[in-house]
Amino acid sequence: MSVGALVLGAMFAVLAALAAARRDDTLRRGMERAAEQFAKLVPRMLCALIAAGFVAQLIPSAFIARFLGADAGLTAILVAAGAGMIVPAGPVIAFSIAAVFARSGASVPALIAFITAWTLFAAHRIFIYEIPLLGLSFLRLRALSVVVLPLLAGLIATAAGWLATGVAAP
């Protein structure tokens, strides 16, 4: 059992007790909604998880790593952000790829841009959760709102690096 599962289990126990104490149909309505969302999510999720594993194998991470060095500056941040957007899988795979990048000399801002882009656009999450639960119009709004964030994160990290080392901008 992971910590997350324990926390969720405890939250469920507390909420279920509170709902039952109301002595109306709160508990039943809550469980009903959970069952409906389960039906919507789980069959798709099984397929998507399997697909994500295959696609992750197909991403050429060693090739991409060549473009992420500190001397590449803004280009590195842009390439890293683009790479992060196409990783369609969970943290195991995303962080393994980040580790490959780090070993081959990727700069800190590029790594931050990569991880940020992955957290925001992980395709499996969009298809498994966001579209079924919120809908396409929310996805469109969110994607347009956050698309600049990986770039901003990389740029802020670059600026922070300059401040920390006391070196003037090149």
Partner 1 sequence: MPFGSRSWWAGLLRDGFGVGFWGFAAFAVLSGLACYLVLGPEAFGVALDDDLDLLLGTVPRIVAALAVAGLVWAMLPRDRLTRLIGRHSGLRGLAIATAAGIVTPGGPTSAFALLAVIGGGGADRGALVAYITGWSMLGVQRLIVWDVPFMGVEFSATRFVVSLPLPIIAGLIARALPLRLTLAAPTGPEAGSR
Q: What angle do CA 123, 158, 126 make, to 5 degrees?
A: 10
From candidates 23, 119, 162, 170, binder to partner 1 by CB under 8 A = 119
Residue recorded with tokens 């952000």: 81
Query: Taking CB under 8 A as the criterion, which residues in 20-39 touch partner 1?
Result: 22, 26-39
Closer residue to partner 1, CB minimum distance, 35 or 74? 35
Query: Which part of the chain contacts partner 1 (CB under 8 A), choosing from 54-62, 69-77, 78-86?
Result: 54-62
From candidates 16, 59, 72, 86, binder to partner 1 by CB under 8 A = 16
Dig out the tokens for 104 from the structure: 């081959």
Amino acid symbol at 21: A
Minimum CB separation from partner 1 for residue 135, in Å? Answer: 3
Number of Cβ within 10 Å of residue 68's Cβ equals 24
Closer residue to partner 1, CB minimum distance, 79 or 122? 122
CB contact at 8 A, 62 and 104: yes
